[in-house]
Amino acid sequence: MSKDKNRDISVETLREKAVQAGVETVWERSEQQTPRCGFGEKGLCCNHCFMGPCRINPKGKSPQKGVCGATAEVIVARNFARMIAAGAAAHSDHGREVARTLLTAARNPDSGYSVKDVNKLHKVARTMGIEVKDRTKEEIAAEVAERALDNFGRQEEGELSFVRLAPEARQVLWKRLGVTPRGIDREIVEMLHRTHMGVDHDHRNIMLQGARTALAYGWGGSMIATELQDILFGTPSPLRGQVNLGVLSEKEVNVVVHGHEPVLSEMLVLAAQDKELQDLAKAQGAAGINLAGICCTANEMLLRHGYPIAGNVLQQELAVATGAVDVMVVDVQCVMPSLPEIARCFHTKLVTTSSKAKIAGTEHFGFSEDNALETAKAIVREAVLNFTKRDKVDIPHEKMDLIAGFSHEAINYMLGGSFRGSYAPLNDNIINGRIKGVAGVVGCCNPKVAMDRSHVGLVEELIANDILVVQTGCSAIACAKAGLLLPESAREHAGPGLAEVCEAVGMPPVLHSGSCVDNSRILTALSEMVRIGGLGSDISDLPVAGAAPEWMSEKAISIGQYFVSSGVFTVFGVGLPVEGSKIFTRHIYEEFETVFGGMWASEPDPGKMAALMIDHINTKREKLGIAKGRERVLFDMEMRRDLEV
Ligand code: XCC
Ligand code: SF4
């Protein structure tokens, strides 16, 4: 646990309240784990078979090999690769649920799901080579869903549908390296196979499959989730919202949704608007029903409907400790098993919904595409009936406004206007040096470091250096709480060039693009920057960098790896569980640059992290010959026509 205070002051008060109520929070438990096992933190512990568990002495003393003979670099590589596989599995399984829901929407008009964004449907269908002419949207949607599902189970050689959206040069590189992803499930399975006892013992070869698995996730599972969610629920566009625990309402029934899949939260949105339930709430003495989110589900509900975000991953227990949450409904991922204990100390009912994710002692409302709305209504009813059972309520005052909803399409539209939506103005401003580059700052929060500090510190420094920041996940929530996601923050925090562009367009210097599966929107944006031209021929030529300053989940590692394999320099804070092997760190920190054009770095200090990213961006600018900045190029008609393909 870091000695720095968490950046968000409401945290300490609620934490104390929880402790007084006799429960621990994530911070107390984190302290109890300190000091942590040094072998584990360095990636040097292996339990892949029961001749072990084995560990390697990091100081060069004995033992230097596992019982089977595995060296430090093999053990570290296998552990890291398994993290990639698990992360890829989690978000890709989310993508699979979305594809199944799209199929339900296409086949069953009474399911409550339907195609909301026909433009996006057509665009995705065309990418997949699916005919759209003279067909109903249901026919097209069914085929898109089937094709997407086929991406998971593909066995043959060949590639996933969305790989063709990557720049040509990238696709050629992936082919040459043999890492073009074939089937999503297949790559994950092969990764698990190769890291089983006694299989792949070459750390470089293990990481080639690590790259392939991560790419299957980024350009497969994750992109399928994002694109098909847009088809089902609408493509986000900029809207105003609010964030932090202060969004909970004293007078209304609070339903807090936590987890990841909008397949659930979209139905809760409908249920919370139900007239009968609204009336029931009033009959209970409540002013209405307030729906708010935690983690990525919150991001999904914010981006598409403007519903408020109650907090990030570390605030899930604190939300309960306000005493104002009538129901917390969870699905999958980032849901702490500690929740029932704290819920018992307050009046909160905890409800699980996914057959994949139950918590012992918690009420389960089985949710599937076929009973979605009914289940959602039953959950909201539970909350309404629980409202009168509240005891003392302590809702912190902290809340902040933000603008979110910067999907790739929205950025296109904002920059280029409705008739010639394009990234050309972005490239143009990067070439002339007003904007120095683009950084993706994403990922979780981690109680090992002071909450939100690294996210906010890093992002402030990047925008002050005229670097446009794109965010997702809990990182976006952290910066939103600090007020960085408002257009006004450009004047206050951004460098002069970036501020000028932001003010001209009316956008914040930090763009909230969604949940963690929406990191695929960043891949799309990067590919589009390459396609528009003037910044090289591959993602690895672009003046861009990525970071996850307070990461904790396996998904974050997998996301990091797909950015690196797509050509992006990516820095992680908190540390990486690979430091036990110099051979391995040299491979992913240095050699990767010559393999993928993108590499990993680990740097816990946000200032130094910013410096690494800025240096990288400047190096790329030099290579592109735009280091000094160039005057704005005025487009003539012919150049514009070229851009509008
Ligand atoms: Fe989870 Fe997605 Fe990490 Fe937040 S950022 S802690 S993964 S909710 Ni996704
Ligand atoms: Fe030990 Fe090798 Fe078994 Fe790992 S696979 S636990 S290093 S014997």
For residues 165-189, give the mean pLDDT.
98
User: Is residue 642 classed as helix, strand or coil in its secondary structure?
Assistant: helix
pLDDT of 641 reads 52
User: 419: CA distance to ligand 1 center in Å?
Assistant: 36
Distance CA 563, CA 99 (A): 24
Pocket mutation for ligand 1, best pick of 448, 474, 475 (most atoms within 8 Å of C-beta): 474
pLDDT of residue 644: 43
Is 372 touching ligand 2 by the criterion CB < 6 Å? Answer: no
Q: Is the pLDDT of residue 241 over 60?
A: yes
- Helix or strand or coil: residue 490? helix
Q: Distance between CA 305 and CA 303 in Å, rounded?
A: 6
What residue type is assigned to position 560 of the chain? Answer: G
Tell me, in angstroms, the distance from the centre of ligand 1 to residue 177's CA.
Answer: 31
Give the pLDDT of residue 461.
97
What integer is the mean pLDDT of 164-176?
A: 98
Nearest 5°: CA angle at 36, between 22 and 444?
Answer: 75
Distance CA 354, CA 224 (A): 20
Q: What is the pLDDT of residue 638?
A: 59
Tell me which residue has its CA closest to atom 3 in ligand 1: 444
Pocket of ligand 2, candidates 45, 65, 75: which has the most ligand atoms within 8 Å of its Cβ, to mutate?
Answer: 75
Q: What is the mean pLDDT of residues 546-554?
A: 98
* pLDDT tier at 640, thresholds 50, 70, 90: very low
Whole-number Å distance, alpha carbon 25 to ligand 2 midpoint, is: 35
- Per-residue pLDDT, 9: 80
pLDDT at 516: 98
pLDDT score of 369: 82
Query: Which amino acid is located at 627 in the chain?
Result: A
Residue 448 has pLDDT above 70, yes or no: yes
In three-state secondary structure terms, 401 is strand
When mean pLDDT is compared across 226-230, 368-372, 380-384, the lowest value belongs to 368-372
pLDDT in tens, 349-372: 999 999 999 999 899 999 988 889
DSSP state of 234: -
- For the residues 121-147, what does the mean pLDDT come to? 98
Contact (Cβ atoms closer than 8 angstroms) between residue 221 and residue 92: yes
Q: Taking a C-beta distance cutoff of 8 angstroms, is the pair 255, 380 a contact?
A: yes
**CA distance linking residue 262 with residue 84, whole number of Å:** 23
Nearest ligand to the CA of 475 is: 1
**Tokens standing for 144?**
């898109």
pTM for the predicted model, two decimal places:
0.95
Task: Kindly indicate the confidence band of residue 628, based on its pLDDT and cuts at 50, 70 and 90.
Answer: confident
Position 370 scores a pLDDT of 81
Helices 184-194 + 72-107 axis angle, to 10: 160
Residue 3 confidence (pLDDT): 54
- The whole-number average pLDDT for the span 498-506 is 94
Report the nearest atom of ligand 2 relative to the CA of 198: 5
Q: Is 555 in the pocket of ligand 1 (CB under 6 A)?
A: yes
pLDDT in tens, 305-347: 999 999 999 999 999 999 999 999 999 999 999 999 999 999 9
Ligand 2 atom showing the smallest separation from residue 46 Cα: 4
79-118 exposure pattern, b = at least 16 Cβ within 10 A, e = fewer: bbbbbbbbbbbbbbbbbbbbbbbbbbbbeeeebbbbbbbe
What is the mean predicted confidence (pLDDT) over 606-626? 97
Judge whether residue 420 has pLDDT over 80: no
DSSP tag of 357: B
* 597 Ramachandran zone, left/alpha/beta (phi>0; psi -120 to 50): left
Cβ of 296 closer than 6 Å to ligand 1, yes or no, is yes
Residue 474: CB within 6 Å of ligand 1?
yes
Regarding the beta carbon of 51 and ligand 2, being less than 6 Å apart is answered yes
Tell me the best of 64, 197, 203 to mutate to test the pocket of ligand 2, counting ligand atoms within 8 Å of each CB and taking the most.
197
Provide the edge-to-edge strand list for the sheet that holds 544-548: 510-512, 467-471, 437-441, 544-548, 569-572, 600-602
3-state secondary structure 144-191: HHHHHHHHHHCCCCCCCHHHHHCCHHHHHHHHHHCCCCCCHHHHHHHH
Please say if the pLDDT value at position 591 is more than 80: yes
4 pLDDT exceeds 80?
no
